[in-house]
Structure 1
Amino acid sequence: MARLVKEEEYTAKRNEILDAALALIYSKGYEQMAIQDILDQLKISRGAFYHYFDSKQSLLEDLIDRMAKETEQSLLSIVQDPDLLALEKFRRYFELSTRWKTSQKTLIGSLLRMWYADGNALFRQKMTAKSIRYISRIYESIIREGVEERVFTTEFPEQVAVIVAQVTLSISDAVIEVLRSQEPDRDPIQKAGMIMDAYTDSVERILGAPSGSLKVFEPGALEELFTAIRQESVPGNPGRKGSKKSPE
């Protein structure tokens, strides 16, 4: 019983630190947030912080993991719904994923420069690989149902699930890259929309799904993401280019 209490206390304190870090990321930006900011806010020692996290980056990894697990519960409710057919499950999955991105647009805008920095290539690769493993398991379940319902055509549900996961994740990267571009003669939202259409067509072909049956990324979310990304570069914004980085 005592051990259970200690585990609960450990989890509660760890979540308290994650909550504080998330609030600071929203208010200051990840690059400007220092471990000392968390210590000051929670009135804890540096040793106490390192009891839960090895570094600022490991804290970010755990924060992303927690957010992914929270989202997973909502996604699983869609996948496990016996009243939904496979195509509808995919549609609702993508719709929920888009809603999550727009609801977290401030956080996404704050983390963009850190995420795409050359020095974070290994971190980005690790997180992407982890996301593919997680997402592909959900996709595989839906794809197998779709094959049984004869709306998808593939003999390799497990492998196709991984491919579709890779494609859908790369959509976000491609869209964000366009929205971050500084080309004055191009309409970034229009170009991003064309990219989404091309990727969606690819996913439908990979699955053997009817043309126009899926919508991988809701177009209406582009304006919100574009606003968040542009704010990341506005003078006075913590995430802008050339801003001073946190020493930790």
Structure 2
Amino acid sequence: MIRVVKAPEVRLTELLDCAQRLFFSRGYDNTTINDIITEAGLSKGAFYHYFASKEALLEALATRMARDSVKELEPLLEDLELDAIGRLNAFFAGSRRLKVEMAPHIRNTFEVIFRPENIVLFHRIDQAVTAVVTPILAALLAEGHEAGILDAPDPQAVAEMLLQLRLILGPVMHKALLQAKDGNVDEPARVLDERLRLYGIAIDRVLKLPDGTIKVAEEGFARALLEPD
């Protein structure tokens, strides 16, 4: 068999892609290094050339996912036609990812990430995302505070608090998805819509903005998330 030589960055990307597929399909705890190298077609020595352990691989994967999320946000965050409030709305809506058209993808991700066997994966991804996006949010808050649009005297501390608030949405979405699988869509959709609305209002009140200023999801998103294809 002819050995295929690839650039290190190509091999690294392939390895991360493979790990992500396996973690999402089998669960982080149920995936071994042997599973990963078999799937990727690499030797164990090649794996350890890139990563010292499965945990190191997980950290790299989480960081990549966080950076990908920020990259999606860049066009809106750099839009000079948007004021600080407009960019904050873009930020909290995840670059408007909480849209009806994105609901199926988000549904699949949540079904995977909140499995009990993926709790380590979830927390590692959250830590990586928080580390990457906190400085961005703090800069937006500082801009808005200096302009007198919102109240954030300590932008870094407020950014950290607002990012912690977002974690309350995950279990609510997951519970709603489980209920919808049993054929009950109306009630969990109503609950999720209300929780998304309250999340936006909580942000408004921390920043001393009028209720309804920050919107974190497009109308109809909850039902689109929960209804099966």
Structure 1 length as normaliser, TM-score? 0.71
Paired with 1:176 and 1:137, the residues of 2 have a C-alpha distance of 28
1:1-248 equivalence runs, <5 A: 9-25=7-23, 28-30=25-27, 33-97=31-95, 99=97, 102=103, 103-114=105-116, 117=119, 120=120, 124-180=122-178, 187-226=187-226
Q: Is the CA contact 1:171–1:196 (under 8 Å) kept in the aligned structure 2?
A: yes
Paired with 2:177 and 2:110, the residues of 1 have a C-alpha distance of 13
Paired with 2:14 and 2:61, the residues of 1 have a C-alpha distance of 11
Paired with 1:38 and 1:108, the residues of 2 have a C-alpha distance of 22
Partner secondary structure for residue 93 of structure 2: helix
Paired with 1:115 and 1:218, the residues of 2 have a C-alpha distance of 31
Aligned-pair CA distance for 1:89: 0.7
Structure 2 length as normaliser, TM-score? 0.76
- 2:60 is matched by which residue type in structure 1? D
Cα shift readout 1:162-190 (whole Å, capped 9, x = no counterpart): 11111123323433344335897982221
Q: Is the CA contact 1:115–1:124 (under 8 Å) kept in the aligned structure 2?
A: no
Paired with 1:42 and 1:116, the residues of 2 have a C-alpha distance of 21
Aligned-pair CA distance for 1:219: 4.8
Q: Is the CA contact 1:140–1:161 (under 8 Å) kept in the aligned structure 2?
A: yes
Aligned-pair CA distance for 1:24: 4.1
Greater relative contact order (Cα < 8 A, sep 6+): 1
Equivalent pairs counted in the alignment come to 217
Paired with 1:46 and 1:116, the residues of 2 have a C-alpha distance of 24
- What do you get for the CA RMSD once the two structures are aligned? 3.3
- Of all paired residues, the percent bearing the same amino acid is 25
Partner secondary structure for residue 209 of structure 1: coil
The verdict on how the C-alpha distance between 1:208 and 1:90 changes in structure 2, with shifts beyond 3 A counting, is same
